[in-house]
Amino acid sequence: MVANQRFLRISSFLISSSTQDLNQYLWDNPNDFILGLETLHALTNSRPHQLRVELTDFSSKAAFARYASFRVGSASESYKLSIGGYEPSSTAGDALSDHNNAFFSTIDSDKDTEKQNNCASQLGGGGGWWYKQCYHALGTGAYRLPRNRVVPQAYGGVTWHPFSNVKDSLKIFKMLIKPSNIA
């Protein structure tokens, strides 16, 4: 099963909310598939994993980025992201290596390296993410259809810089993982 773009819209909710809230959300939205940080940690901590990110914009232009290693830390490590081994033949460019060693921040838990702002609430469109100062890639940003774009365009949309404009929103942002020893 592949997490679709709806996953992106709800992931900040998932990550910053209690289990009870999440259960209520799933009750109200039975078709959503959610892979939470605890699961990502358990999977990527059990054995080495690789990551493939697939992107599509609203003009149907697509690109991908592959990384040889992807790991999410435990809750006590603030779900720290360990990302490395960008594959040079990737077509999207490397937006995620900048996020290496970032902690997971949410609107109610500022763990980014931006001193003046809480990236999640002020520049990230409300989504939880591995912000630093603040982001080059944002998979959990606000999901904006072209007709709903903010004018002037604002930060916080789903993005992968420079494949997409950092003030624009991608149509699809998928993060796919599998064990490193599987081709």
**Which residues form the interface with Ca ion (CB under 5 A)?**
110, 112, 114
Return the number of the residue (94 or 110) whose C-beta is nearest Ca ion.
110
Pick from 91, 161, 152, 166: which is nearest to 123 by CA?
A: 166
Least distance from Ca ion to the Cβ atom of residue 122, Å: 9
For residue 180, the one-letter residue type is S
Question: Which helix (H) or strand (E) segment is 173 a member of?
Answer: strand 172-179
Closest distance of CB 110 from Ca ion, Å: 4
Q: Among residues 32 and 110, whose Cβ is nearest to Ca ion?
A: 110
**Shortest distance, CB of residue 108 to Ca ion, whole angstroms?**
12
User: Which residue, 87 or 110, is less far from Ca ion as judged by CB?
Assistant: 110
Min dist CB 78 to Ca ion, Å, is 13
Rounded CA separation 125/152 (Å): 15
In DSSP notation, 71-115 reads EE--GGGTT-EEEEEE-TT-SS---SGGGTTPPPBBTTB--SS-S
Q: Which is nearer to Ca ion, 132 or 171 (CB)?
A: 132
